[in-house]
Homo-oligomer: A and B are copies of this chain.
Amino acid sequence: MKGPDIKYLFEPRNVAVIGASVKKNKIGHKIVRNLLFNKFPGKVFPINPKGGKILGLDVEKSILDIKDPVDMACIAIPEKFVFDTVKQCAQKKVKFLVIITSGFSEIGNIKEEKQLVQYAKKNGMRILGPNIFGIYSSKVSMNATFGQKDILSGNVAIITQSGALGIAMMGKTKTENIGLSAMVSVGNKSDIDESDLLKYLVENKETKVIMMYVEGVKHGERLVGILKKATKKKPIIVIKSGRSKRGAMAAASHTGSLAGADEIFSDIMKQCGVMRAESVEEAFDWCKYLANSPMPKGKNTVIVTNGGGMGVMAADACEKFGVSLYDDTETLKKIFSDSVPSFGSVKNPVDITGQARVGDYEKSLFSAIKNKNIHSIICLGCETAVLDVKNLKKVIKEVYAECKKPIVFSFLGGTKLEHVITHLREKGTPIYSNVYEAVSCLGAMYNHFDTKYSIFHEKKINPADYSIDMKKIKSIISDVKKEHRNFLLSDEAQELMSAADITFPKTYIASSIEEAVASAEEIGFPVVLKVVSKDIIHKSDVGGVKLNLSSVEEVIDAYQAIIHNCRHNKPNANIKGIEVTEMVKKGTETIIGARRDASFGPIVMFGLGGIYVEVMKDVSFRGFPLPKKEVKNMVKETKTYPLLLGVRGEKKKDINKIVDTIMKLGIIIKNCRYISDIEINPLVVYEKGIKAVDIRILLTN
């Protein structure tokens, strides 16, 4: 059955606090206090078997004693009593259970947690938590947390998987003057997870920016789908620690072992348009800026500075954070020649020189504000003898008030200036001591800008459009499954490639000269002959390999030579036959793969460079499905991409065919749930066409 509308988690009409307490240091007391302090407009029902009064409210002994209907129940009682209480909540037809109590899956009590979720689901209830500090929602002024009581309401929604960090962040938002529209602790995510919450928050008018602190992703495939749409509407920022943690994925295939789970997380977040912040401070800076700044109308940014050094530092930061500096020299000259002295520079960075007074800032900044060719502004300054700090404060205020474009400020100087920065920041002006911090905020804005305005068509992908015979593939896999094998043999893998219309070097096993010649003619010259024998491992060493055979005669000679050599060098070897294979032409070696990721479901991978892929780990990932265009981006993203464009006079390689083949692998893994990994390494790419030289396919256990 469908659960209750998520709206009632953020906007319950009334709230019961089970485990409410008169003792001030108890969680059950703090939640009641916080609800009352924030003037939650609905009714608050404290529940405690002891009865009595808490903060002026009558305490009921059981939720069943409440006469009104109850949308949400916060449960803050010892773990052993939780299940019975949940049963009572079901009887009372509560919609959402906010289970504060810890002691469930986080310490290994997985069964107990599952039981709760199953019971709740069956009875039309949903669970937030357990092991959380609660939920705040500005829409109904509801602070159902045991964190601080006074929360600044505003436009930033925070979802946090860590309780301790979450409470600390809640405190920090207050000191940083960041207003919250919501703060949700998701804890063990036994039922409600980020995806459920995002559905509400994306539509929620109060919320302008969403920030998530994530430790692990459970239903990644669903999350990806929701994030992709959400980031078109609102900026989403994520912090995930554990960047240095490796090896969360099975090392059964390269696709898994090439990079830790963190690289995949990073790439998929980028694919979804989610911005990843390194630290809480960085995330908060971005949240604040994105919640308050107007959107730019284009990408032309101008730097105005009174110091060359600071200007260059900002230009460095622009490159780092993806901010484009406007460089139409003629237009810049027109805009700034009035406000820049002759020994300054009207190029970008615009240098109004160390002799600039506050009036010069005013003049040049207003020129930039007024001009339509400039879409955003970085204003920098060093404290100088001629710069009146008090006056500067006034002008920055005016400029910020007038500016309908994104603008950031960064000034460096002494105590007086530092006070101005602190004061202006408190008032909401985006001003920073650190140039990099200032520019990073603008970078986040442009990151969101790019996501919002990128063209994005995710069409339904049909295997038949890619000449994939899914029925055939499923039958191949089903046959392997019957043998209880979890990998495909070489010929099975080739059969699967055929069914997906992916070209590979043709191979036959010949047991006579006639067969060998026929095979060679079928394949087309030149070919390679190799002895097939489980007793001969180092085939070349015994003369069991002949390369580059260009005619029937050469094939006949080679066949005889191989048989002769092997009989002579390994008299007791059991020779199964002679393998006749297409001689693969030299091309650019790539690696492609698709796998079913534990967190994100189907993902695809691309890497380039044969031997270098192992050393450089120059690979990129994406969640599947995705539009072809995005697969192309994924290919372009690798550092070795220029090799495909042709270096040293080589011609451009068949990039479309690579993209197609990656799509195919994605479609296969998406549609055939028994396959866990497909990897082609190398996939040799030519000016026209590709060749899947080595294919590995693994099945789920």
Contacts and interface: CB of A to CB of B under 8 A. Distances in A.
Contacts of A279: 313, 434-436
A461 interface: no
A413 B616 contact: no
Contacts of A615: 639-640, 642-643, 647
A309 interface: yes
A385 interface: yes
Contacts of A612: 609, 612, 640, 643
A412 B280 contact: yes
Contacts of A278: 436
A307 B168 contact: yes
Interface in A290-323: 306-310, 312-313, 315-316, 318-319
A449 interface: no
A648 interface: yes
Interface stretch (A47-55, A115-123, A414-422, A500-508): A414-422
Interface stretch (A70-78, A241-249, A394-402, A575-583): A241-249
Nearest to A611: B647
A27 to B, nearest CB: 8
B354 A175 contact: no
Nearest to A312: B241
29 contacts: A162-B307, A162-B308, A164-B307, A164-B308, A164-B354, A164-B382, A164-B384, A167-B383, A167-B385, A168-B383, A171-B412, A172-B413, A172-B414, A215-B308, A241-B309, A242-B316, A243-B319, A278-B436, A279-B313, A279-B434, A279-B436, A280-B433, A281-B434, A281-B436, A611-B643, A611-B648, A612-B612, A615-B639, A615-B642
A294 to B, nearest CB: 27
Interface in A236-261: 241-245
A480 to B, nearest CB: 28
B343 A171 contact: no
Given A164-B354, A647-B615, A244 B415 contact: no
Could you say which interface size class chain A belongs to?
35 or more
B163 A354 contact: yes
A140 interface: no
A390 to B, nearest CB: 15
A165 interface: yes
B313 A413 contact: no
Contacts of A213: 309
A455 interface: no
A243 B382 contact: no
A700 interface: no
Contacts of A354: 163-164
Interface in A215-272: 215, 241-245
A169 interface: yes
Contacts of A162: 307-309
B383 A614 contact: no
Given A162-B307, A168-B383, A170-B414, 15 more contacts: A165-B382, A168-B413, A171-B412, A171-B414, A171-B417, A172-B418, A175-B418, A215-B309, A242-B316, A279-B434, A281-B436, A611-B643, A614-B648, A615-B640, A615-B647
A701 interface: no
Interface in A166-185: 167-172, 174-175
A312 B239 CA distance: 12
A464 interface: no
A107 interface: yes
A570 B279 CA distance: 68
A171 B614 CA distance: 50
A146 B316 contact: no
A25 interface: yes
A511 interface: no
Interface in A627-645: 639-640, 642-643
Given A107-B343, A281-B434, A434-B281, A412 B639 contact: no
A148 interface: yes
Interface string A410-432: 00111101100000000000000
Contacts of A414: 148, 168, 170-172, 174-175
